[in-house]
Structure 1
C-alpha cells in the first residue's frame, strides 16, 4: 500500500509506534489522575440512575393490575436505558474532571554551576620536553591540553566527573592575551579549541603576559551571572610582556569576587628543549635555563583567595587539576519533570455523547406521559 505524498515511511512508522506505546501504557495500568478527588462525583451516577428509575407517576390510575399482567414489549424492557446512559455519562465526566494521564517523557532542568576561565600559557618556553606522557617525552603544552580535556570532560586516568554544569571559557597568552572561546556549556567546542592551541612560532609573538591574560579573564567573568567565578591560570615562566601589571590584575580580580588558582608548570632551573642542528638538520634536545616566577603566582592566588600549585610532571599536573576540581564543586539541586499525555478529552467527549443519546432517546423512543 502506497503512502500519501510528503509523509516519509519512517515518520509514519514513528507516529504509529508512538500511538501503540501510549495504548500499551493505558492497558498496563500506567494511567494516573491529576485530581483524584473529582472521582467522588461518580457517586452522582448512582443518584441519577436511582432518580430516573423511581420518578413517581403524575397521573394516578385506579388499578394497573391488568397492564402489569400483560406481556412487556422490547421498548418497555429498555425503558430504563436513558437512565443508565445518563448515569454512565456522569461517571465518564467525573473521570474526565479527575484528569487521567500517562507519563510520556522525562525532562531535566539545567542546573546552575560556576563560571570558569581557563588561562593557558602558549609561549615558546612551553616547548620544553620535561613532562612525560605515555612514556614519551612531549612538550609541556601537549601535556597541559590533555589534562585540561580531562578536567572539562571527565576523561582520562586522573580525571574526575567533568564539569557538565559549568560554563567554561578559554584564554591563551604569550606576548599578548587572546580570548579563544567565550564562557560556554558547549564543552565539545571548547575542547576542540584546546586541541587546536599551538605554541607561538615567531619571536614577535613570544613573551609571558601574565597580567594581560588575567585581566582579560576577569573582564570575561564580570559579564557572567554565575554566583561563583574562577580563573585557572597555568604558566611556566615569568611576567615579561603586556601592558597590565599582575598585581593590578589580581586586585581587580579580588574586587570582582573572582578567585584565581595559579599553576606553575615544569621543572625549575634547566629544561630540555628541541633544537635543530644547523649542520645535520636533525632535531636534538639541549638544556636551557628556565625561570618560573613563583612569587608572582603566589601573590595572585593569595590576593584573590585562591591557591598556588606546583606541577613538575604529568602526574602532579593531573593531581593539581583534580584538586581544583574537588575544591570548586558546587552543590546544586536538579529538578526533573514528567511530560504527560492527557486523556481527559476522550472521557469528556464520550460522556457528552451519552448525555445527548440519553436525552434524545428519552424525548423520542422512550417518551412517557407525565
Structure 2
C-alpha cells in the first residue's frame, strides 16, 4: 500500500515538474511585446479606461483629475479636474466611442455632493450634468442611457426623475455595477449576498452566494454572475434563474493575494486570479479553457474576447496568453504594472509606476505569435 502511494506521489510530482518546465520553456521562447512608446501621466494615476473602438483611453487619478488621450499617437487631448474644497474622482469611463463620463465628490458649502458630467470628445463639449445632494465613497457608473449612483438611477438622455436603487448592502458598499439594460448589480460582503435590481420594474433577484464576494462580476449579456472570495473560492450562476453552474475555484488556506475576477467585453468568458494563478473559463457551457502560473502574485488582469488574457505580477512580469491554445503570445519585464487595458485585440496598454512617476506604455502583440 505504501509503495503504491509512493509511486503515485512520485508520478504526480514528476507531472508537476514537467508542467513547470513546459511553462518555463514557453516563457523563454515567447517573443517580446513590441513597444510603441510611452507617455508620462499624473503621478497619482490609478486606473485605465479604453473606448470600445480603441481610439481613446482615460487615466483616472486620485488627485481629482481624469486625463483623456489618443491611443494611436499617445497624444493628450484634454484634462478634467474636479473643483472644490475636497475634490475626488469616484467614477469615470466611456459612454461610447465619442463620449465619456466623470463622477466626482465636492465639499463646497460645507456639504459633500456628487457631480456627474457626460462629456463629448469631438467636438469637445458638455452633454449632461447632474448633482446628487449626497456625497459618499460609492462609485458612479454610467452607460449610453443611464447613470447610477447610490440610491438613484437616472435616464440621462430623457432626464426623467430618478428611480430608487436597492442594494445588497444597506450602505451601498461593495460591488456596484450598472448594466447596459439599466439594472444595478451589488454585493454584501458580510451577509454573503448578491442583488441584481431593475429600478424601472422593481424586479429584484437576490440570493446567497455562500462565500464572501470580495470580487464579483456580471457578464455584458447579463446572463451570468461570477463571485470570488479572498481565498480563491469561486462560484458561477446563470441569471435570471440563479442556477448554480459550478465552481471556478475551491480556495486555498495559504492565499495571501485577494481573488479577482474579470469578464470579457462581449464573449461569455471570464478569468479569475488568486496569488500567482490565473484560470480562464467559458460559460456556455461552464468549462475551464486553461490555467497559467505567473512567477509572482498577480497585480493586474484583463481579458479580451476570444480568450486572450493579459497578466502582470508583483515582479513586473507582463505576459499575454491565448487561453484556447495555452500559448504565450508575448511578454516583457517592467518595474511594476498597476493596471492594464486592451484598446484592440492586438494592442495593450500598461500603467507603470517608476521612481515616483507614472507612465502609460503601449505595446503591440507580435503578429507571428498567433500562428
Which TM class, normalised by the smaller chain length?
Answer: under 0.3
TM (norm. structure 1) is 0.20
TM (norm. structure 2) is 0.20
Larger Rg: 1
